[in-house]
Amino acid sequence: MLELTRRRELIDTALAMNSLGLNQGCSGNLSLRSGDRILITPSALAYDRCRPQDIVKMDLDGSCRGSGKPSSEWPLHLDIYRTRPEAGAILHAHSPFCTTLACMELAIPPFHYMVAVAGGSTIRCADYALYGSRELSVAVQTALQDRSACLMAHHGMVCFGPTLDQALDLAVEVENLARLYVQALQLGTPNLLTDAQMDAVLEKFSDYRGQAG
C-alpha cells in the first residue's frame, strides 16, 4: 500500500510540474527513493496517461524490477542517490528560463540572495553531454557539488530534495530565479552580491532550516 501511494505521488508531482509550466509533454523525469531502491517515471509516456503500474522500480545497481522502461535519464538519478544520501526525490525538467540560460551555457550568479536556496552562492551549469549518458551524469555530479540544483548545458535543469514536495518547490524557485536573471540581463549586467554577503545569507538559511527541523 505504501509503494502504491508513492507511485501515485510521483504521478501527481509530474502533473504538477507540467501544470506549473516547468515541463511540457513527456519530457523531464522524476524519481523517489524507496528504501534501497528507487521509483522513477517511465520513458516516453505522457504523465496524464501514466498509471501507478507504469512507474518503474529500480535497484541502485541499475537493474529494473518489472517490465517497464525507465526514463532515459535513469543513470543520472541513480548516481545522485548513490552519492547524495540526503536526496529523497529528484526532479529533472526542461523549464523555459532555466533551459534558456542552459542553452547559453550560463550559470546563475549571486544577483539575488535567493540563489542560496540551492546551497551555494551560484547555481552552476553542467557541461554538455548526450542525454542519458554516463558523461552527462559525471558533468552533473560536478555541478551539484555542495549544491542541490544545477542547470544542464543545452538541456534543462535538475534538482533534488528530501521529499517530492521539496524538490518541486526548489525547481519552482530555481526557474523563477532563472526568469529574473534573464530579465535583468535585458537591462544590462546585474550587480552581484559579494562572497561575504552570500556567506551571510547561507548562514541565515542554515539557521532557519535548523529551526524548522
Active-site residue set: 73
Query: Shortest CA distance to 74 belongs to which of 58, 89, 87?
Result: 58
Q: What are the backbone dihedrals phi and psi of residue 76, each rounded to the nearest 5 degrees, phi first?
A: -65, -45
Which amino acid does the sequence have at 3?
E
Query: Shortest CA distance to 179 belongs to which of 148, 212, 204, 157?
Result: 157
Q: Parallel, antiparallel, or unpaired: how do β-strands 125-126 and 56-59 relate?
A: unpaired
60 close to 37: Cβ distance less than 8 angstroms? yes
